[in-house]
Structure 1
Amino acid sequence: MRKFTMETARKIMANEISVEALLKQYPEYKDEVLHELGEIRKGAAANVVQAIIDRYTASARTANTKISKSGMNEATVNAFLPNIIKARFAVYLLEQLNVAVSANTPAGNVRFNHWDGTILQRLLFRKGFERKPVSLPLFRFFWRFIMDKRILMPLVNKKGIYCFYSKELIKELTMLIGERKCLEIAAGDGTLTRFLNEAGTFCTATDDYSWKHYIDYPAFVEKADAKTALAKYNPEVVLCSWPVPKNPYEKHVFKADSVQLYIVIGTRNPQTTGDFEAYHNAEKFTMELDERLSALIVPPSEDNAVYVFRKKAAGEL
């Protein structure tokens, strides 16, 4: 067991020695921490990462308490100080989750470094580019450790991914839809419909397959343009996530007699998503920008928006 002088212990507890210096002085503790973090790669759930941080934090807190109560007793210091060092290593390593290239690197060559890629893969995907419902508390915890947040969406945009859906957003959508017939138009890879179906709310995904050069359409996404799908299914609720700006299909939603509720997940910028001309001309519907739902889109952005259109009662027309 490594022994520490009282002066060294004092400096470490007072954070007077940099983490970089500690890494050089105590490489065996770094190796232990790396081994723990390496477990993430073995297919475990993302909450293992949270468990690692919680364990180191709790261990460091206990060590501080023990050492403080002992009055810097040598035996106690030697027994518990390694826990404080390893806790600092764990936080430091997660804080170093940065990109391997600068912002000036051509987009085709941009890649996350090992830790960035590992954490984001576990948080956002089941495998490959198959998205999963994101735990919002867990995402918020780890998002702060990502140093260059700007390249996440440009990287996944190439796969037709423009946002990630939190578990909390899916829950809210299922409550809004209820037992009503639901249709998703311009569904892309059908992720939103898949999540809703997994949550027990049946929805039919449709797309005209016009983005097949970007998107791998799964079999459950029916090939149909919005007008055809609306006429075929007569849905009471329609969803659309990240509709193309000034698109030709959303206007048909507002003309469909069956539609009572239309939910758009996108942005506040008409140049980025949505047919805002159709939105403002939808005289039979009320339009609400739901700030609470907008905050449940991942990653967070002031530009994120969830619009909820409700058909007016006969007396309101």
Structure 2
Amino acid sequence: MRKFTNETAKKIMANEIGVEALLKQYPEYKDEVLRELGDIKKNAESNVVQAIIDRYTASAKIANAKISKSGMNEVTVNAFLPNIIKARFAIYLLEQLNIAVSAKTPAGNIRFNRWDGMILQKLLFRKGFERKPVSLPAFRFFWKWVKDKTILMPLVNKKGIYCFYSKELIKELAALTQDKNCLEIAAGDGTLTRFLNEAGIACTATDDYSWKHYIDYPAFVEKADAKSALAKYSPEVVICSWPVPKNPYEKHVFRTDSVQLYVVIGTRNSQTTGDFEAYHNADQFTMELDERLSALIVPPSRDNAVYLFRKKAAAEQ
């Protein structure tokens, strides 16, 4: 049995050690998780994914409670801390496996025909996979001519792209963040922050670089986990696009005193995006699913969602 120091245990429980560092330090737990996640490749049904997430999450909560209750007793720490580590591995690895789960056919076999490829390249990208703000009227007109609509997102998922932002959505987000200290967490390639910067909004993009094998992080995306970034910048507005389901970082947004508004761009499905437990436990914030803003995400989907969390006035808390 591996032994942990109390200092290491406290850092792991507080998410102060990045997942990639944990993967290197504890490869035996990674292998164990990977064996179980292999079931997803055989059966990509969402209930299988959710069952695995739920099991790891429940196991981590029990472990955290037992360790805390024991007063960091050495035997208890060594017995239960691996469950917390494995839960973090599972969520991290499921984020990457989402590529395979979301595609009906293997990504390597999917190709656009020349006509669809030409339309989508002009509509969605400046060059290569560099996204651009999408004209909603133009998209709505040309989208109906795309034959193989269902393969767009599986193709771009492997580049860390889960949606496209319309010009109209950027305009609305810019209005929400105007003259406020703005921070984007889990920013990926920083596309959303780049669009806001181009719209005149001073927003800082941060990411822990856990997707560096898939994403080319530009220099303006600062390497920092969410908790560290929130402490460093004390933002009034925080934005996160497509947060990992049941992630360990969104809860820190609601614990940061400076935050007055938190904007989440994602889905209505807790299996796909977001820490919905943290959302519903954020007693100091109101939660609103903004249908108007949700309709400005591209491509259109009934599952698209923009959530606005506003801090309550002192009298309401």
Q: CA deviation at 1:148?
A: 1.8
Aligned length: 215
- Which residue does 1:115 correspond to in 2? 115
What's the TM-score, normalizing by structure 2? 0.67
- Which residue does 1:238 correspond to in 2? 238
- Which residue does 2:126 correspond to in 1? 126
**Separation (CA, whole Å) in 2 of partners of 1:208 and 1:248:** 12
Kindly provide the CA deviation profile for residues 263-289 of structure 1, in whole angstroms up to 9, marking residues without a partner as x.
000000000000000000000000000
Equivalent runs, 1:203-242 vs 2, <5 Å: 203-242=203-242
- Which residue does 1:302 correspond to in 2? 302
Which stretches in structure 1 are left out of the alignment for 5+ residues? 1-102
- Which residue does 1:195 correspond to in 2? 195
Equivalent runs, 1:34-73 vs 2, <5 Å: none
Equivalent runs, 1:128-167 vs 2, <5 Å: 128-167=128-167
AA aligned to 2:154 is: P
**Separation (CA, whole Å) in 1 of partners of 2:234 and 2:105:** 48
Kindly provide the CA deviation profile for residues 9-36 of structure 1, in whole angstroms up to 9, marking residues without a partner as x.
xxxxxxxxxxxxxxxxxxxxxxxxxxxx
AA aligned to 2:208 is: D
Query: Residue 126 of structure 2 aligns to a residue in which SS?
Result: strand
Q: CA deviation at 1:105?
A: 5.5
**Separation (CA, whole Å) in 2 of partners of 1:284 and 1:154:** 37
- Which residue does 1:252 correspond to in 2? 252
**Separation (CA, whole Å) in 1 of partners of 2:221 and 2:202:** 13
What's the TM-score, normalizing by structure 1? 0.67
- Give runs of ≥4 in structure 1 deviating > 2 Å: 103-107
**Separation (CA, whole Å) in 2 of partners of 1:106 and 1:158:** 11
Larger Rg: 1
**CA-atom RMSD in angstroms:** 1.0
AA aligned to 1:129 is: F
Which stretches in structure 2 are left out of the alignment for 5+ residues? 1-102
Query: Residue 315 of structure 2 aligns to a residue in which SS?
Result: helix
Query: Residue 315 of structure 1 aligns to a residue in which SS?
Result: coil
**Separation (CA, whole Å) in 1 of partners of 2:215 and 2:257:** 31
AA aligned to 1:153 is: M
Query: Residue 287 of structure 2 aligns to a residue in which SS?
Result: strand
Q: CA deviation at 1:146?
A: 1.1
Q: CA deviation at 1:108?
A: 0.5
Query: Residue 253 of structure 2 aligns to a residue in which SS?
Result: helix
* Correspondence 1:174 to 2:174: yes
Higher relative contact order (CA 8 A, sep 6+): 2
Kindly provide the CA deviation profile for residues 125-176 of structure 1, in whole angstroms up to 9, marking residues without a partner as x.
0000000000000000011111221100000001000000000000000001
The percent identity for this pair of structures is 85
Query: Residue 309 of structure 1 aligns to a residue in which SS?
Result: strand
Q: CA deviation at 1:257?
A: 0.3
- Which residue does 1:186 correspond to in 2? 186
Query: Residue 249 of structure 1 aligns to a residue in which SS?
Result: coil
Q: CA deviation at 1:106?
A: 3.5
